[in-house]
Amino acid sequence: MTAPRLAPGVKLRHDAQRGPMLMAPERFLSLDETALAIVALIDGQREATAIAQALGLAYDAPVAEIAADVEALLTQLREQGYIVR
């Protein structure tokens, strides 16, 4: 599996009123704290398992549980066109 990266034209931004979001041409997606933690690690180098491991270490949480959340979000973001794999 290849490492996810933001799709062309998509940027991670912080809006003073809406908070963190992914911005794409003519649309945006607001991110909650969990989604932001995952998206912040999307760099085109780390695969989903590496993202889950990094979050497991950062939050002292079970990697298996985090991996399921990471995969679910990455799938959603890919289907919506915010990331490519």
Task: Give domain limits for the chain.
Answer: 5-84
Q: Give the whole-number percent of the chain exceeding pLDDT 90.
A: 96
Fold of 5-84: Arc Repressor Mutant, subunit A (1.10.10)
CA dihedral 44, 49, 55, 60 (to 10 degrees): -160
Q: Which amino acid is at 31?
A: L
Q: Give the whole-number percent of the chain exceeding pLDDT 70.
A: 99
The 10 Å CB-count burial string (b at 16+, else e) for 30-57 is ebeeebbbbbebbeeebebeebbbbbbe
For residue 67, the SS3 value is helix
pLDDT of residue 85: 83
Q: What pTM does this model have?
A: 0.93
Residues in contact with 68: Cβ distance below 8 Å, sequence separation at least 6, in sequence order: none
Average pLDDT (65-83) is 96
